Amino acid sequence: MENIVESILLQSLNGMSFIAILALIGIGLGIQLIMMEVVNIAHSEFLMLGAYITLLFIPILDNFWIGAVLAVILVGLFSLIFERTIIRPLYRRPLDTLLATWGAGIVIRELVGFIFGRQYKSIGLPISGFVSFWGIEYSAYRLFIIIVVIIVLLAVIAFFFKTEYGLKARAIMTNREMASAVGVNTYRVNQLVFALGAGLAALAGALISPIYSVGPYMGLEWLVGAFFVVVIGGVQTIWGPFAGAVVIGGAQGVVEYFLQPVVAQIIILAVAIIVIRSRPKGLFIRS
């Protein structure tokens, strides 16, 4: 019985760390879709770039944390150019942005692979060791990820509900034309929110770089899960992706405890398809 409790606790913590990363990626993707009605397939490349920038700056700065901060800043700045040149001409045209960002993502991946090679690379854990509690030992770094993501997500919530730009962003989500009519610069707010979403993806890439191998295709492994998060939670409110991350991440963690990861992913895909068919607006949006 004691071993079962310890296994459940260990799997729950693994699920929480997975939910935390998935939430960062999914929320960034979701707010872009809510605000601009664009489907950004290249969102996975922002994650990949965040991991690569962290990897590149570690030997130069000899500090993982500064590298992670620079990754968020540099990817955020890159996303401003990306939004201005690729996304903005295609606002409110989801199919067109899907195709455009899919092509842009291929270009980014291939450029990174050409410059840095296609071999996957590893980064040492910035926080080593384990934390002992309730009869188990758990990775100190994974616990750190959970704590950091909770703080960041609270900051994102505070941004949307406690700041002037957040108020403008929510106004645009509710009624773009009305927000523009009362003087809100919708293009500027869109660009800021797009950079915020890209920065969240870059942070996710930096945080997972010591756990997963860093390579040009690493972002694709998370893209499908991020879209599931958006679909399950719904795109009419910023709370949707939060809830979707909990559902998808938690369900996958539970299913993988009993079944092989590949089988678990197939089951999650089937669940997502059922939700799309039965609740096209998402589980947490009233029809």
Q: Which CATH number fits the domain 2-278, given the four candidates 1.10.10, 2.60.40, 1.10.3470, 1.10.287?
A: 1.10.3470
CA distance 104 to 135: 48
pLDDT band at 281 (very low <50, low <70, confident <90, very high): low
Kindly report the pTM of this predicted structure. Answer: 0.88
CA distance 2 to 78: 50
Q: How far is CA 223 from CA 8, 41, 73, 134, in A?
A: 27, 8, 21, 34
- Per-chain mean pLDDT for the chain: 83
pLDDT band at 54 (very low <50, low <70, confident <90, very high): very high
Quick: pLDDT tens for 71-111: 999 999 999 999 999 888 887 777 788 889 999 999 999 99
Name the residue ranges covered by the structural domains of the chain.
2-278
Residue 144 CB partners (closer than 8 Å, separation 6+): 127
